[in-house]
Amino acid sequence: DLTGDWSSDVCSSDLENMARNLKMKVARATLDMTQKDLAETVGVTRQTMNAIEQGEYNPTIKLCRKICKILAKSLDELFGED
């Protein structure tokens, strides 16, 4: 059944996105920054920042680097796979 295989791939992908974006949310909260604060600092909207944290938007590498610089984290720490 191909549907079962496809569903499990989507599930594991969603779980990876959730973990990655949770790291970003925790790093942001540790610095006492709101989504709006971080978004304004890196030059995007709060809605974009929310979409990144929710796993609904994959940021460009340029945006990832800006986020990492502000949060004092490496690309691997925030966006790398475990």
Contact 46, 36 (CB under 8 A): yes
pTM value is: 0.74
Average pLDDT of span 44-57? 92
Structure tokens at 2: 């191909």
For residue 32, give the amino acid letter. D
Contact 75, 24 (CB under 8 A): no
Distance from C-alpha of 5 to C-alpha of 60, rounded to nearest angstrom = 29
User: pLDDT band for position 1 (50/70/90)?
Assistant: very low
